[in-house]
Chains A and B, each alone.
Chain A
Amino acid sequence: MNNMRVGGGGGGLGNSRSLSSTTKDQKQTRETKRRVLLRMGKYLFQHPATVIVAFLLMLGSNILALAGPKLSGVAIDAIAAGPGKVNFDTVYLYTALLVAFYVLSFIMSYVLAVIMVRLGQKIIYTLRREVFEHLTTLPVGYFDTHATGDIISHISYDIDTLNASLSHDLLQICASVVTVVGALSMMVTISPILLLVFAITVPASLLFTRYKTKRVRPLFKDRSMKLGALNGYAEEMLSGQKTVRAYSREAVIVGRFDRRNDDAVEAYYRADYYGAIIGPSVNFINNVSIALITVFGGILYMLSNTVPDLAPVFVISLGGVSSFVQYSRKFAGPINELANIMSELQSALAAAERVFRLIDETPEVADSEDAAILCNVQGEVDFDHVKFGYVPEKTILHDLSVHAKPGQTIAIVGPTGAGKTTVINLLMRFYDVNEGEIRVDGTELREATRSSLRGAFTMVLQETWLFHGTIFENITYGKENASMEEVVAAAKAAHIHDYIETLPRGYDTVLSDDGVNISKGQKQLITIARAMLSDSSMLILDEATSNVDSRTEQQIQDAMHELMHGRTCFVIAHRLSTIQNADMILVIKDGRVIESGNHDTLMAAGGFYAGLYHSQFT
């Protein structure tokens, strides 16, 4: 049939990411390939009994199926005697045997298929779990430098590909070997001389396979790439549809879309044009080999009947010709599929390598053995000549020294990119400093356990983070055993209780992308409610109210004061009004503290801060 898969590029909507990784794969050395393969094997052999049973079933069902043509050949020979002379005993015996063999083979291959599905799912489950659990140990830096989409594709698409190869291709290869070897040996027993036919057809198949890999597959890759570009453009323009219309640019945009559309359909056509030869070629080679077998088998059959002392190697019966034709089909199948299986294995190896690379990512440095558990934290924080950069080439903080007394509010001000959020990243130990020290209550951060350090802080960030779960679950996320009363009190303080009450399911409302219509501001109020539940002694507010409109912000100001009361607070905000009351304002520019002091002293100094402050009124 013509609908066979062509390499790895046959289906799919075009994915430029997987494409770029394929080019990389070609550079993959033999050595790494071997290592990856061995490692893949390990997952398979975690279930040795299943693998052995599967292998035996595969062997059994294939051998039984292979016996079919041979048995039917014998039956046909019994028929070939002609009218009135058919040997019915043989026919009955062999047809009965055939039925038994085929039914057995059916049962075995069904059981095998079920076992393989189960085995595959077990492996997938383990792999996904391993990858995910490893993800939870990775430092924040990993997530800052890797696109979420890529991580998701490792845990879904790559693992699926890997598994498909483990639980399907591997068995397929074994089955192919059994079939090829089995069919070949059967054909040898029927007529070794007829095998010469394959001297013509097998090289033709191999040449054709070469054509396919060299000429056609790149075209399919090109097709995926062009489709990817087209889809990317369509998505981009759809998201900006309103803008396009506002500027009446529909015609221009449609024109640009058409260019990409032309490229895409043209690439599709080119791939199809050269791919169009694949199905017919396979059929042609099959048909030619059948024709050759018929001709030479026919001649041999004729000679067997007419020449009495023919050398045994030339002798063939009618049933023999029939069996031979059937075996030749079985024999050709795996050889035609060779290219597909190889390319699938290649992409599986590439996928496996990506998955393993993720599993091998260095996790967060473990807490040192004698790490202190911070408890009853007062909230005294010291930055002592801290130097830090996300990459060695670019230092973000050059020499930062800050001293915060318990209960003080420290506001951090400065232009975008100055390193305000970096301070928070270091404080929470999402990243470790390059030089200098940070101390909480006199304990250096790296000498305390991460969980106790982080537990000493409460955070409200600009990027609100809620997960798919009920509002109740989201609010109690930091304090699992919180009671309903506590949650309601927190929600009331965050001015979100009334809104929650208007929802049909109240606190049990599930937050989802497609579910209730909840605004950015309301989301942020929920995260503020979450923070209200915490009893830690230090607080981080990174643009915490940027999504809340001014009126609501004004209304929750009391609650925010309550939240800040008695805690050491680190506040980042655009709105200067939030900052004015801070005990200390740090103005950070280019990684250095250029000014510090409270509002009044900074205004009196007439520096950068004063300029910033005045600019809001001009």
Chain B
Amino acid sequence: MKLIFRYLRPLYRSMAFGLSVKVLATLLELTLPYILSYILDSVVPLGEVLPILIWGGAMVLCAFGAFMGNVIANRNAAKVAKNASRRIRHDLFHATMHLSSRETDAFTIPSLESRLTSDTYNVHHFIGMMQRIGVRAPILLLGGMAITLILDHRLALVMLATLPLLGASVFLITKHGMPLYTRSQQAVDGMVRVVREDCQGVRVIKALSREDYERRRFDTANRELVAREQKAGISMALSQPLMSLFLNLGLVGVIFLGAHFVNADLSKPGRIIAFIQYFTLMSTAMTTITRIFVQSTKSAASANRIGEVLNTYAAHPQKEGTGLPEVTDDAHFLVFDDVSFSYNGRKNNLSHISFSLPRGGTLGVIGATGSGKSTLIQLLMGFYDADAGEIRIGGQPLAAYDEKALHALFGTVWQNDFIGADTVAENIRFGREISDEAVRRAAHLAQAADFIEAFPKGYDHELTAKGTNVSGGQRQRILIARALAGDPEILILDDASSALDYRTDANLRRAIREELHTTTVVVAQRVSSVMYADHILVLDKGEIIGAGRHEDLLQSCPAYREISQSQMGGAFLE
């Protein structure tokens, strides 16, 4: 909640205007039943038509005033909500883009996603709603109380006795019902999971003729869901009828006691009619307040979730480097000096990694899944800081670079890297100032030019999100073109050519070797992708179990020999 107020602070002036208009409008509305009772009790007995018309006109005027006031206030509220949530969303997105990798890991991407989408939506909705009905309902309630107390304090007490009962019961029912809805939501997830699994596994299911089994599996999920939804539905079904009952019984109470008061000349019949009106207004206000209460706990949760991200970002140490320090060491351009690292602080994901690569050289990294290949890249690019040891680029420790300058050195293709819903050219350019010519050249080097130019619209061909409308091999080549387009000092290919056939992969390697002179790090599972590297690291469970050139490793590293044999059918040993 604090977060919401922080963003509303610059808008207080505008809000104050809107809220005062709203209060005025609501008060105008509240006078209506008062005038009604006045007409019936005091004007009608005069026996003249004109005063009745005049007072009726007053009612219409008040109604119109209330209408105008509410419209103005509501529009004002929408504006405040717009401005506040625009800034909240901007700041949140900005923060998510700048969180460190560890912080992102801690939040998890899906969670950040839902904070950006549903939580900001909830907050936006809430800010608008609070100003519209959040003001109106309490004013209706309090103003109604005040007027009824003035009008007839005895009758007012009857109403005041019923309202808390009404509020409490609605509140209790909702409080009881909400967790039940959460539970049914979980059952929905269970049902959806079966459908999703079966859509994806349809070949396996049909191959094994397990349709009946799947039907039973779905039926279990379906039954569970129905049972939970029914429970939630039934417990909430009470609230509406119960509300009407309280409201109506309150009305009966007013009439019953009113009869006694009128008989004793303590009240007037017209007041009873006015009270019926007030009672209707106030009980609706009461239910609205309960709903707002429920809604606000939900929105507060959303606001907190947004706040967590913003606070993490605010507290997050900005890497202070000196920009791009001078390269002082070409012969030892990339250096890992006894580096160890762990994601969770318990088990090392990399242990005692040391190597050195000259500028323009190629490093190959090979190993099983989970051996720490990608982790090595993450450390090199400064996404995580090493727990022990030092990483140097161009003779300077990583800490000497600020993040931007460091990243500017690299052209990187990650494993399963991402393609946006945009043109091929823009996916290669990726928001950088890169000429069309350079884009084409990069595509050419990445062996992507042929298929891109075969698209009807060439480089303007629209890709779908995640690049689902091109094949895996084409996707990888577009990504490689992106990495090459920036003319990077260091090229990183993290399992970036696994979907390429051998011939294309070979052409790509030749192009990089002959036309570019970047320092290159190739992470792969295929021996053929790394065998021409100047230096190859064989990783296993975070440790280097072999290092050197291909020919050396065939001799010195049994694991490497095994992989090589299995992949190449031993052709090289002949």
Contact = CB atoms under 8 A, between A and B. Distances in A.
A125 B223 contact: yes
Interface in A274-296: 276-277, 279-281, 283-284, 287-288, 290-292, 294-295
A322 B201 contact: no
A75 B248 CA distance: 14
Contacts of A415: 501
Q: Looking at B79, B288, B368, which has the most chain A CB atoms within 10 Å of its CB?
A: B368
B52 interface: yes
Contacts of B158: none
Contact of B118 (A13, A68, A455, A478): A13
B465 A280 contact: no
A232 B465 contact: yes
A2 B117 contact: no
Contact of B101 (A102, A105, A242): A242
Interface in A473-488: 477-478, 480
B90 A254 contact: yes
A519 B370 contact: yes
A181 interface: no
Interface in B289-328: 291
Contacts of A554: 562-563, 565-566
A294 B59 contact: yes
Nearest to A249: B431
Given A102-B245, A253-B431, A242 B56 contact: no
Interface in A108-160: 109-110, 113-114, 116-118, 120-122, 124-125, 128-129, 132-133, 135-137, 140, 143, 148, 151-152, 155-156
Given A247-B407, A248-B404, A617-B528, A302 B241 contact: no
A466 B17 CA distance: 59
A577 B569 contact: yes
A93 to B, nearest CB: 11
A291 B60 contact: yes
B391 to A, nearest CB: 16
A151 B192 CA distance: 10
A241 interface: yes
Interface string B62-85: 111011001100110111011001
Contacts of B407: 245-248
B245 A236 contact: no
B97 A237 contact: yes
Interface stretch (B2-10, B161-169, B265-273, B515-523): B265-273
Contacts of A245: 97, 383, 403, 407
Q: Looking at B117, B197, B238, B510, which has the most chain A CB atoms within 10 Å of its CB?
A: B117
B89 interface: yes
Interface string A83-113: 1111010010001001100110110011001
B525 A261 contact: no
A467 to B, nearest CB: 5
B269 A280 contact: no
Contacts of B381: 246
Q: Looking at A231, A265, A520, which has the most chain B CB atoms within 10 Å of its CB?
A: A265
**What is the predominant secondary structure among interface residues of chain B facing chain A?**
helix
A121 B184 CA distance: 12
A249 B70 contact: no
B359 interface: no
A254 B91 CA distance: 9
A563 to B, nearest CB: 15
B255 A326 contact: no
B204 A465 contact: yes
A246 B273 contact: no
Interface in B165-223: 188, 191-211, 213-215, 217-219, 222-223
Interface stretch (B35-43, B392-400, B453-461): B35-43
A121 B226 contact: yes
A1 B277 contact: no
A236 B39 contact: no
Nearest to A272: B78
A254 B78 contact: no
Contacts of A253: 97, 431
Contacts of A210: none
A599 B511 CA distance: 29
Given A306-B47, A611-B503, A148 B200 contact: yes
A280 B264 contact: no
A244 interface: yes
B93 A247 contact: no
B473 A106 contact: no
A136 B90 contact: no
A95 B254 CA distance: 10
Contact of B43 (A1, A247, A298, A461): A298
Interface residues of A, number: 154
Contacts of B209: 450-451, 454-455
Contacts of B109: 238-239, 241
Given A83-B263, A235-B113, A326 B276 contact: yes
B29 interface: yes
Contacts of A616: 502, 505-506, 528, 568
Contacts of A461: 203-204
B417 A575 contact: no
Contacts of B379: none
Contacts of B573: none
Given A254-B94, A280-B67, A580 B569 contact: yes
B32 A156 contact: no
A207 B418 CA distance: 51
B431 A98 contact: no
A416 B259 contact: no
A118 B230 contact: yes
Contacts of A250: 94, 97-98
B355 interface: no
Contacts of B74: 2, 272, 276-277, 279-280
A428 B203 CA distance: 9
B229 interface: yes
Contact of A91 (B230, B255, B408, B430): B255
Interface string B128-158: 1100110011000000000000000000000
A72 interface: yes
B104 interface: yes
Contacts of A79: 255, 258-259, 262-263, 269, 272
A106 B207 contact: no
Contacts of A450: 206, 209
Given A79-B272, A236-B465, A616-B506, A465 B117 contact: no
Contacts of A98: 248, 251-252, 255
Contact of A521 (B121, B369, B503): B369
A19 interface: no
Contacts of B62: 287
B203 A140 contact: yes
A514 B266 CA distance: 70
B262 A117 contact: no
B259 to A, nearest CB: 4
B106 interface: no
Given A244-B97, A250-B97, A1 B197 contact: no
A248 B217 CA distance: 47
A498 interface: no
B200 A465 contact: yes
A84 B39 CA distance: 22
A509 interface: no
Contacts of B81: 268-269, 272
A402 interface: no
Given A75-B259, A246-B410, A299-B49, A281 B67 contact: yes
18 contacts: A13-B121, A68-B251, A76-B273, A109-B240, A140-B206, A241-B109, A247-B412, A265-B124, A268-B82, A277-B71, A277-B74, A306-B47, A318-B269, A321-B40, A549-B525, A577-B567, A577-B569, A616-B568
Given A88-B259, A135-B199, 4 more contacts: A121-B229, A236-B421, A272-B75, A519-B370
Across the A-B interface, give the 6 residue pairs with the lowest CB-CB distance, nearest first: A295-B56, A240-B418, A272-B78, A276-B74, A113-B237, A291-B59
